[in-house]
Amino acid sequence: MMADLSAVTSRRVTVLGSTGSIGVSTLDVIAHARETYGADAFPIEVLTAQSNVELLAEQARRFRPRMAVIGDAARGGALKQMLAGTGIESAAGREAVIEAAARPSDVVMVAIVGAASLAPALAAVRRGATIALANKECIVAAGDLFRRAVAESGATLIPVDSEHNAAFQLLNFDEAHAIERVTLTASGGPFRDWPSERMAVATPEQAVAHPNWSMGAKISVDSATLMNKGLELIEAHFLFSLEPDRLAVLVHPQSIVHCLVSYADGSTLAHLSAPDMRTPIAHALAWPRRMSSPSRRLDLAMLNKLTFEVPDPERFPCLNLAQTCLRQGGLAPTILNAANEVAVQAFLGRRIGFLDIARVVEDTLSARTANSTAIPRDVDGILDADRQARDLADTICRRMAA
């Protein structure tokens, strides 16, 4: 007998960043729900994308949102033309994306990559929506501000990152005093066994070839440097109010165990699933219920082994940089995130080498030390620190490339 999930499937959804890997997976989950529970499951309010106007228009024609928004204002005319006769509204530009997040919907999937997600995510938070957060950078850059906005608005925040979603399912907040450690796992990325000499000449194509997950280029590079895991530690600190000494990382190449939560009585709980982002996406859309998803199923009998190892701080310095910023607090995570975004783009553009990413971030942090302990009080202060860090990181990249 199929459970009555009408209260879940009637939720209206906005997808910010629908053409990226998380956005595409979200729509795949919704398509499965419509096949399983009825064609009207999860009506869509808005779909947004930054520049991929062709895919956005295709998604809009298939999923019939009330509105489609393209962040690149220059492509607004093309979107309008592609949707002519469909009855679907269209808009373009950064402000239109923010306004789209503020439109009435029950669940907002925040799948925009990078700090660009901050303003639209906050717009959705301030109206008290349920936020399915697949972006870690806006929490890293503005953790205190974001957490305060959630508390003031009564919004519900559900993490979609596989590790944080796993922690969300495992943590017993009624026994918060008994939580000894939350351990996030990392695959180790494509360079887990590479010596530093080989990583020094790694290409962007090699860095984005993640062994287990299908992700966008920026997140894939972050996984290769282990910066992704450092950002996730900072995110976990803000999401779950956990002190830095209660957060840890283990390299787990199989990407089957996503999080381990250790309690004071000696128990350690583990969350296991196949490496498929549609699993946490379905959990976030249906929470606190559970619904069918098209995710790959886990077959433990087919697995030869599950292994764990401590990350190597010498070969992966980005993790240490992030842990230092987590302990330092203030604007340090904002600066870390901004410098990393610039450095990753420079690497993908072949302007700097793979190992230079950590050097750019470290040099930017060193130069901004005097300002990094300040407590960000508003969005403008965070965006100003973000801009200054980006400008400095870009200067450092240009100097390296010269």
- Please report whether residue 300 resides in a domain: no
- Please report whether residue 175 resides in a domain: no
- Please report whether residue 309 resides in a domain: no
- Please report whether residue 226 resides in a domain: no
CATH number of domain containing 106: 3.40.50.720
- Please report whether residue 202 resides in a domain: no
**pLDDT tens digits along 91-148:** 999 999 999 999 999 999 999 987 788 899 999 999 999 999 998 878 888 888 899 9
Q: What is the pLDDT of residue 282?
A: 98
3-state secondary structure (DSSP) of residue 257:
strand
**pLDDT tens digits along 130-141:** 999 998 878 888
Whole-prediction pTM: 0.91
CATH number of domain containing 360: 1.10.1740.10
Q: What is the pLDDT of residue 36?
A: 96
Q: What is the pLDDT of residue 307?
A: 96
144, 138 in Cβ contact below 8 A? Answer: no
Cβ count near 31 (within 10 Å): 15
Cβ count near 76 (within 10 Å): 18
Tens of pLDDT along the chain (402 residues) come to 567 899 999 999 999 999 999 999 999 999 999 999 999 999 999 999 999 999 999 999 999 999 999 999 999 999 999 999 999 999 999 999 999 999 999 999 999 987 788 899 999 999 999 999 998 878 888 888 899 999 999 999 999 999 999 999 999 989 999 999 999 999 999 999 999 999 999 999 999 987 766 677 888 999 999 999 999 999 999 999 999 999 999 999 999 999 999 999 999 999 999 999 999 999 999 999 999 999 999 988 888 889 999 999 999 999 999 999 999 998 999 999 999 999 999 999 999 999 999 999 999 999 976 556 666 678 888 889 999 999 999 999 999 987
117, 17 in Cβ contact below 8 A? Answer: yes
Question: 268-298 as b/e, with b when 16 or more CB fall inside 10 Å?
Answer: eebbebebbbbbbbbbbbbbeeebbbbbeee
224, 258 in Cβ contact below 8 A? Answer: no
Instruction: From 160, 181, 211, give the residue that closes a domain.
Output: 160
- Please report whether residue 290 resides in a domain: no
Distance CA 69, CA 91 (A): 5
Q: What is the pLDDT of residue 378?
A: 81
Instruction: From 98, 126, 160, give the residue that closes a domain.
Output: 160
98, 119 in Cβ contact below 8 A? Answer: yes
Which residues constitute the domain of residue 368?
329-402
Q: What is the pLDDT of residue 300?
A: 87
Instruction: From 132, 160, 188, give the residue that closes a domain.
Output: 160
- Please report whether residue 212 resides in a domain: no
Maximum distance among all Cα pairs of the chain, rounded to whole angstroms:
66
Distance CA 71, CA 80 (A): 13
- Please report whether residue 87 resides in a domain: yes
What's the structural domain count of the chain?
A: 2
Q: What is the pLDDT of residue 373?
A: 60
